[in-house]
Each structure stands twice: as C-alpha cells, then as structure tokens.
Amino acid sequence: MNILITGGAGYIGSAVARRLLDEGHKVAIIDNLSTGDVKYIDDRSVFFRGNILDVDFLKKVLESNKFDAVMHFAALKDIGESMCRPDLYTSCNITGTINILEAARSTGIGKIIFASSAAVYGAIPEGTAIESSPCNPTNYYGKTKHIGETIVEHYSKAYNIDSICFRYFNVAGDSGLRFIDTKAKNIFNIVAEVAAGKQKILRIFGDDYDTKDGSGVRDYVHIDDLVDAHILALDLRGNHVFNLGTENGYSVLEIIDAFRKKTGHSIPTEITARREGDIAKLTASCQKARETLKWNPVRTLDDMVESAWNSYIKQ
C-alpha cells in the first residue's frame, strides 16, 4: 500500500513509518517539524515539509500521489497548554483534521487511521474505560480528540471511507529509533531525564488521589505494541473505535520505582499541586481490539522502562 503519514517525524508516527517500510509498504510523510525531528524520518520514505493547516499544500501533496490510506498523527497534545491556549488546539487538532479529511475525500483515499486519545473519556467512575463508556473529557486536548473522532466518523459514513480511531492510553518505551523528546510531558520521558542528570528533580502532580498510593494511575502500552495495532488496521474495513492499552494500571510512584531499580538512580521527587484536568485513575478495556482487530499487547512495564532508558544511555 501507499500510505501518507501526518506527523511522521514524531514519536509514534516515525515508529509506524519504519515498520510499514520494513513490511514493504510505500510511505510518504508530512510534518512541519515543530515538535518532530527530521533525523527520525526514514530515508526510504518521501518527506514533505509543511503544515496541515495549509490547504493548498495538502491538496498539492495528495493530488500528486495516489495514496491508499492516511494515518493522521499530527496534533498538539500538552494537556496543560490546551487549557490556556484553546485557540492553538482548535486550529491544529480540529481544523487540521478537517483539512486532512477533506483532502482525502477529494482525492479518493479509501482509509483513514486517526490517532485519538484516552483523554476523550475524562473521569470514569469505575476507572476502566470501554469504547462505549461516556466521553466527558476534563481537558481541552481530550475535547479536541473527541470532536476529531466525531468528524472522522461522519466523513467515513458519508463518503464511504474506512476509518479506525485509536484511543491511545499512555504510550511508552522506545521502538529502536532512540527517540528522545525533551518537550514531552510523558512521565517516562521526564523520569529518564532526571535519571540521566538532565533534570534535577521530578515533580509529582498530586499525592492525594483516591488510589493505591495517592498518585495518579494510568494504563501504559509499549510503542511496539501500539505499532502492531496500526499494521493490523490496514486490513480492517468499516468504521471502528478501539482502545489501545494493556488493561494494567500503574501509579506515578510505581513508574518511578521501576526506573530506580533499572537505573540505580535515586530520582529525587517533589510533590506539587494537581494539574487542572487530571483525573485519579484511567485504564483500558481492550477486549474489542483483541476480538475484532486480533491485537494483543505483549510487552511489560519492565520492557517499557528498559527500552526507554536504553534510548537515553545510548545517546
């Protein structure tokens, strides 16, 4: 297949691109390099530097190439920033998605895979989300992803486009590209920064949640497992929404402890106030992905910690 990846210089997009190329697919990448890095773009792919908000640019790229599918990763994803800069997130995450869908529709692309987020759920009383759980995002980033899903669904049904929306839980680990994003707010990146001596202290946002140790609990999935799901989705028809997690919840303090054991570093911490929009616990039910997509995540928390840490020490 000939596949277009938006955000292909980013953490997830670059990992998916490499796997697709390894499996013999053709890959083209769109990225404006605002958060991604050109060094993570595989030489076997075709790279178009540009912005998904530039309609003329998108039209030119899609009209000059016969793509079979689009994987749309390009987005802003800082929860805190989304709460104080909704204009940026409306523009990139909503308008950008509409632009991609319009370009795909007008050029006859038959499949779109949309990178969504577990942030669409907000607070789930029981703490475990299934795809039919109510979506009440507590931050604007999650709201933009939920709106994006809705738009993708309507385009899929109106224009007969196969669509898969993946609700990522917390993606962690390294795919072998040694991807390091110093701006990322993912706890794995931040803990590794402290363990590597690039930051002095790790700030924990709240220790008074109703969880096993007072810190927030999330579901973490290895990036290689996540990539597996995207490859499987290429053969799926229709309109679908899937959770991608492991159904295991780990607290912030458990993640820190796992890094301490792996690195031998003390990793000093400081408790600070909760962040606006954060919730106590969220894990995934992945039964739908197992049954429909035949996807089964196999990497462990130790695998995530080890690969993430190796990407730092090899730098």
For residues 177 and 189, what is the distance between their CA atoms, to the nearest angstrom?
15
Average pLDDT value for residue range 181-204: 86
For residues 194 and 272, what is the distance between their CA atoms, to the nearest angstrom?
17
- What percentage of the chain reaches a pLDDT higher than 90? 88
Cα→Cα distances 12→176, 197, 210, 244, 287, Å: 12, 25, 31, 13, 23
Report whether 152 contacts 165 (CB < 8 A): yes
Q: Which residues sit opposite 268 in a β-bridge?
A: none
pLDDT in tens, 228-275: 999 999 999 999 999 999 999 999 999 999 999 999 999 999 999 998
Could you say which of 40, 141, 155, 168 is catalytic?
A: 141
Domains delineated in the chain:
2-171+220-244 (3.40.50.720), 174-218+248-313 (3.90.25.10)
Predicted confidence at residue 145, as pLDDT, reads 98
The one-letter code for the residue type at 289 is A
Given a cut of 70, whether residue 178 has pLDDT beyond it is yes
Q: Is the pTM of this model over 0.85?
A: yes
Predicted confidence at residue 310, as pLDDT, reads 92
Predicted confidence at residue 184, as pLDDT, reads 64
Return the H-helix or E-strand segment holding 217.
Answer: strand 217-222
For residues 280 and 260, what is the distance between their CA atoms, to the nearest angstrom?
23
Predicted confidence at residue 188, as pLDDT, reads 92
User: CA 59 from chain center: how many Å?
Assistant: 25
Residue 251, φ and ψ in degrees, nearest 5: -85, 165
For residues 307 and 303, what is the distance between their CA atoms, to the nearest angstrom?
6
Kindly report each contact of residues 45-50 with a partner whose C-beta sits within 8 Å and lies 24 or more positions away, as own/partner.
Answer: 45/8, 45/17, 45/21, 47/8
DSSP summary character for residue 273? P
For residues 296 and 263, what is the distance between their CA atoms, to the nearest angstrom?
29
155 as an active site residue: the answer is no
Given a cut of 90, whether residue 126 has pLDDT beyond it is no
Measured distance between the N- and C-terminal CA atoms of the chain, rounded to whole angstroms? 34
pLDDT in tens, 89-108: 999 999 999 999 999 999 99
Predicted confidence at residue 183, as pLDDT, reads 66
Given a cut of 70, whether residue 191 has pLDDT beyond it is yes
Helix (H, G, I), strand (E, B) or coil at 254: helix
Average pLDDT value for residue range 140-144: 97
pLDDT in tens, 19-71: 999 999 999 999 999 999 999 999 999 999 999 999 999 999 999 999 999 99
Average pLDDT value for residue range 192-211: 92
Predicted confidence at residue 276, as pLDDT, reads 75
Average pLDDT, the chain: 95
Closest to 32 measured CA to CA, from 53, 12, 16:
53
Predicted confidence at residue 221, as pLDDT, reads 97
Cα→Cα distances 198→153, 163, 183, 193, 312, Å: 42, 41, 12, 5, 10
